[in-house]
Amino acid sequence: MFDLTNKVALITGASSGIGRASAIALAGQGASVAIAARRVEKLEELKKEIEGKGGKALVIPMDVTKKEDIEAGVKKIVETFGRLDILLNNAGVAEFASFFDMTDEQWDKTLNTNLKAYFHVAQAAGQEMAKNKWGRIINISSIASGGVAVGFPQVVHYCASKGGIVGMTEALADELAPLGITVNAIGPGVIETEMTQGITGDPQQSQGMLARIPMKRFGKPEEIASAVVYLASDEASYTTGATLYIDGGWTAS
């Protein structure tokens, strides 16, 4: 089950958190992983870790807001591994700003990184998948995406971007199904990463959040990575257009 031998995966935002854990998990199932982000030194460390366990990794310096980085990255992957089968669209930013003070710069940075870049990376990677009539696009959204009754203050730009990802996932699932490409999203709850340190490391904020989570704990990046492996696999062959919420029961409560 979940064998990814001979598959090639691109993971954006692989330098930390969910992306890093997912790269390790995908490589553990046999995929060759192209690990992309801006902090190249962190990617080099990850490459060593994956190769130390017998896996194959390729470092891709990439600012996902730069189309030329995306195009050069995908070209390098195909030159190195000959194909591209799986995309984990994961790179993201979350910065707090109250609604009336939010600047255009803050809005644009969030939407460009969290939504427009997902479109650009999926477009470049999807073209390679279409050549082989097989592909997996997995987009990391959030429980803060609309439709699941979880709103957060001071991140209207972030919530808009994550809701956009769900819409994009459904539209792409429809359009790419005839090409053998499935498109799914994952909506994590609060996962312990660099992004959430301000919440998980603050007792008062933690308490407020934990009160809303039936499992009474935050998630680990590895608990998202295991769903990434499933959605990337042949076993998920009839799953497309879905958003899987992994949140300790938050959205169900």
Ligand X SMILES: NC(=O)c1ccc[n+]([C@@H]2O[C@H](COP(=O)([O-])OP(=O)(O)OC[C@H]3O[C@@H](n4cnc5c(N)ncnc54)[C@H](OP(=O)(O)O)[C@@H]3O)[C@@H](O)[C@H]2O)c1
Contact track, ligand X, 111-140, x by CB under 6 A: --x--------------------------x
Residue showing tokens 């959430």: 196
With b for 16 or more beta-carbon neighbours within 10 A and e for fewer, the 115-147 pattern comes to bbbbebbbebbbebbeeeebbbbbbbbbbbbbe
Residue showing the smallest CB distance to ligand X in the complex: 17
Site for ligand X in 49-88 (CB under 6 A): 62-65
Count other Cβ atoms within 10 Å, centred on residue 215: 13
Site for ligand X in 198-227 (CB under 6 A): none
Cβ–Cβ under 8 Å, residues 113 and 158: no
Cα-Cα-Cα-Cα dihedral of 25, 29, 30, 35, to 10°? -20
Nearest to 181 by CA among 121, 241, 116: 241
Nearer to ligand X, 40 or 130 (CB): 40
Identified binder of ligand X from the candidate list 32, 193, 240, 243, rule CB under 6 A: 193
Answer yes or no whether residue 91 interacts with ligand X by CB under 6 A: yes
Answer yes or no whether residue 18 interacts with ligand X by CB under 6 A: yes
Q: How far is the CB of 22 from ligand X (least distance, A)?
A: 9
Tokens of 131: 């050549």
Answer yes or no whether residue 248 interacts with ligand X by CB under 6 A: no
Residue 118 is among the residues annotated as catalytic for this protein: no
Name the site residues for ligand X (rule: CB under 6 A).
12-13, 15-19, 37-39, 42, 62-65, 90-94, 113, 140, 142, 188, 190-191, 193-196
